Amino acid sequence: MMLKIVTYPDKLLKLRSKTVEHFDNELHAFLDDMFETMMSSNGIGLAAIQVARPIRALILCIPDEEGEQTKENVLEIVNPVIHAPKGLTTYQEGCLSVPGFYEDIERFESLTLHYQNRHGEACSLDASELLAIAIQHEMDHLEGKLFIEKLTYNRRKKFEKEYKRALKEKK
């Protein structure tokens, strides 16, 4: 089932998401719906709050060398915690909840992630490059934070102006 994506400036995006406690069929169906929604929207990452569910779950599907995204390499990440972040890197980020806007954002270059999978099993992975960046971007959503909040004052003003104009033009 395709879900509706919540877009800025909807206040839902500011909620802090709650720990997932039940790893049941309902969660599995929801994660499947998130995948369908992300793929149909040309995304590489989606947090549950972006489809109006304030739970600590996110999915990622980083394109492979051929630029293909497949169901086999989707990562379903529940209740994540970052360990040992290292280095800094900058990447031009976007967000399905802030359509049409992209800006350079600084993130840690690499990290270890502890999380649970859809069955509640403890997992960990080492991430660098785009995966590490995407993890940090999606985990900010769990805290009610958007990448635009990391912009300098002047860049943020430029964003608000451009985004409001784009919203008006869509109406």
Hey, which residues are catalytic here? 138
Instruction: Please identify, using beta-carbon distances, which residue of 55 and 59 lies nearer to ligand QAP.
Output: 59
Under rule CB under 5 A, residue 95 binds Co ion: yes
Shortest distance, position 59 Cβ to ligand QAP, whole Å: 10
Shortest distance, position 24 Cβ to Co ion, whole Å: 26
Instruction: Please identify, using beta-carbon distances, which residue of 63 and 84 lies nearer to ligand QAP.
Output: 63
Tokens of 52: 């109006």
89 binds, among ligand QAP, Co ion, none (CB under 5 to 8 A by kind): none
Shortest distance, position 22 Cβ to Co ion, whole Å: 25
49 binds, among ligand QAP, Co ion, none (CB under 5 to 8 A by kind): none
Q: Which residues bind ligand QAP (CB under 6 A)?
A: 41-45, 91, 93-96, 99-100, 130, 133-134, 137
Q: How far apart (Å, rounded) are the C-alpha atoms in residues 152 and 158? A: 10
Residue nearest to Co ion (CB): 95
Q: How far apart (Å, rounded) are the C-alpha atoms in residues 94 and 41? A: 13
Shortest distance, position 97 Cβ to Co ion, whole Å: 5
The binding site for Co ion (CB under 5 A) comprises 95
